[in-house]
């Protein structure tokens, strides 16, 4: 699985002109899956992201987790994280997971992340979405379970 995490002051996802998910301070997550991804990788990512200490403490050091600051998550499915641009100018997405498998993992990830007590808003899997956010810091972190 691949997740691009951005620490945000606010984020929202709009579908067909209607806001579908919206958060204040927290993480905007772009989430992609491939066919070889498993529930164990979902568990690993939930553990890492829910405990990631990238929010500032009283001394201004990145030392607090999203739970410590009572933040929220906006999770957006993003098959284009698996784009291959090695040949030509048009990306290939053959590395992205089968939609049924990827959807199941995306839902599992969001459910398990919410079970940690972090409020989770989502986009709609496979929908054409417009994502708006204000990156805070900026702090942007890449997770790829193939690189464990």
Domains belonging to the chain, first-starting first, are: 2-147 (3.50.80.10)
Work out the average pLDDT over 133-141: 97
- Summarised one tens digit per residue, pLDDT across range 61-111 is 999 999 999 999 999 999 999 999 999 999 999 999 999 999 999 999 999
What share of the chain has pLDDT > 70, as a percent? 100
Is 84:95 a contact under the CB 8 Å cutoff? yes
Q: Single out the catalytic residue among 41, 78, 122, 145.
A: 78
Q: Single out the catalytic residue among 38, 70, 80, 140.
A: 80
pTM of the predicted structure, to 2 decimals: 0.96
Is 76:13 a contact under the CB 8 Å cutoff? yes
Residues 6+ apart with CB under 8 A from 7: 26, 27, 54, 55, 135, 136, 137, 138, 139, 140
Q: Single out the catalytic residue among 6, 27, 41, 79.
A: 79
80 among known catalytic residues: yes
Work out the average pLDDT over 109-134: 98
79 among known catalytic residues: yes
Work out the average pLDDT over 35-43: 98
**Residue 139, pLDDT score:** 98
Average pLDDT value over all residues in the chain: 97
147 among known catalytic residues: no
pLDDT of 148 > 90? The answer is: no
> Can you list the positions of beta strands (E) in 24-129?
26-32, 55-56, 62-64, 72-77, 120-122
What helix, strand, coil percent values describe the chain, rounded to 5?
25, 40, 35
Q: Which of 36, 2, 1, 9 is nearest to 132 (CA)?
A: 9
């Amino acid at each position: 699985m691949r997740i691009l995490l951005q620490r945000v002051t606010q984020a929202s996802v709009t579908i067909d002109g209607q806001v579908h998910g919206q958060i204040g301070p927290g993480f905007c997550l772009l989430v992609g899956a491939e066919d070889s991804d498993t529930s164990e990788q979902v568990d690993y990512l939930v553990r890492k992201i829910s405990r990631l200490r990238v929010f500032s403490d009283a001394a201004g050091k990145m030392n607090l987790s999203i739970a410590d600051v009572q933040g929220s998550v906006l999770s957006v499915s993003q098959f284009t994280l698996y784009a291959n641009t090695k040949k030509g100018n048009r990306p290939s997405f053959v590395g992205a997971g089968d939609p049924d498998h990827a959807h199941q993992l995306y839902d599992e990830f969001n459910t398990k992340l919410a079970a940690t007590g972090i409020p989770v808003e989502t986009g709609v899997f496979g929908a054409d979405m417009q994502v708006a956010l204000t990156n805070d810091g900026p702090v942007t972190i890449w997770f790829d379970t193939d690189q464990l």
